[in-house]
Structure 1
């Protein structure tokens, strides 16, 4: 009976983790916003136990922060933390892309198909869908790497920075550039030119890092 209850709590906590992460990544919950356990329990129709489990997990992942006598809030990145995320991304993505095998025709076709969904979202100005599909596009490549632990850490880093990327894509010129860079990456993948792929990813990442960093600094200045 106790084991069954533990499994039920675990499954419920997993569902709550997924939903809370979605709320944070999509921007429905903003950086610095309090997360009230009783309100979340009511919203998800669960007890407070799986809510606490989910919040502890998301705190360990860096999406949520806990302060004694204050409670849980959505993590608000400092500029130095944001810079470190991109520093680690640069190092890990280089290793992952260098380790990619030659893609089969089926895998390459799937990555192209996902790229088309990013393009479609960009063309209709659906910023949220573009952000979400953009991550799917990149991890469709990354997950072909044998470096599974590195890829898992990359996913955590991407997720931590995701709430800050929305403003970057409101510029139609930026959306067009992102799509064009994806097309060049697909060409490099088709040719199994991993060195070229790394160069393109560095350029691609730099655009997001620079624009999002400017936005982050502006937000911090306004708050101050």
Structure 2
């Protein structure tokens, strides 16, 4: 998470997080298209906020790579090519595998939090507005990856995930894919209960392959 969010006063941090999520949802849902400029006055009025917190949120999303800031021009939705997806996917695969191989096994409370998130995803998966599933999906995986003591790798994975959100949303546009994702999460939770690193890696590889299916070319692993 951006330091802008982490060190803000509690109320300001909550307001900023809500603004960030609304802007992310607009990008993911296609309300803001790649290359489109953010009209700050119009957006502030639409979200019911002033331009100061809006600019703060825009800066965070620019830092995360979802937006591009052009001095003297404004903020634009980033354009991501399929080749970039391939690179992001490959980096996440390598880094996530390091985290999974090193996780400390969760207690029952941690497992219950993951199960609750996944139950919420199952409900949202069949609704007309399924976009909250992107946030829930991100939180689910961060709970799992956060079990690793490798904090620098974890922080890098957190930095990369927002770059993948728009691609993941392409898969989740299908209700069948959303429900399949939830089923795969159930298997991830069960693998954590088994306390078997090799099994966790195998389950995650299957889940990752399912997400990548139909999203274009991938970077092949080295021979």
What TM-score does the superposition give when structure 2 sets the normalisation length?
0.77
Matches within 5 A, 1:61-210: 61-67=64-70, 70-124=73-127, 126-210=129-213
- Distance in 1 between residues matched to 2:139 and 2:13, nearest whole Å: 24
Measure how far apart 1:69 and its partner are.
5.3
- Displacement of 1:125: 5.9
Correspondence for 1:29 among 20, 25, 32: 32
Q: Contact 1:168 / 1:212 at 8 angstroms: preserved in 2? A: yes
Pair 1:39–1:123, CA change in 2 (3 A): closer
Alignment of structure 1 residues 43-58 onto 2, 5 Å: 43=46, 44-47=48-51, 51-58=54-61
Gaps of 5+ in 1: 1-6, 215-224
List runs of 5+ in structure 2 lacking aligned partners.
1-6, 218-223
SS in 2 for 1:213: coil
Q: CA 1:34–1:149 in 2, change beyond 3 Å: closer, same or farther?
A: same
Alignment of 1:9-20 (within 5 A): 15-16=15-16, 19-20=19-20
Instruction: Using the TM superposition, give the Cα deviation of residue 52 of structure 1 relative to its aligned residue in structure 2, in angstroms.
Output: 4.3
Which structure's residues are more often helix, by fraction?
1
Higher gyration radius (CA) = 1
CA-atom RMSD, angstroms? 2.9
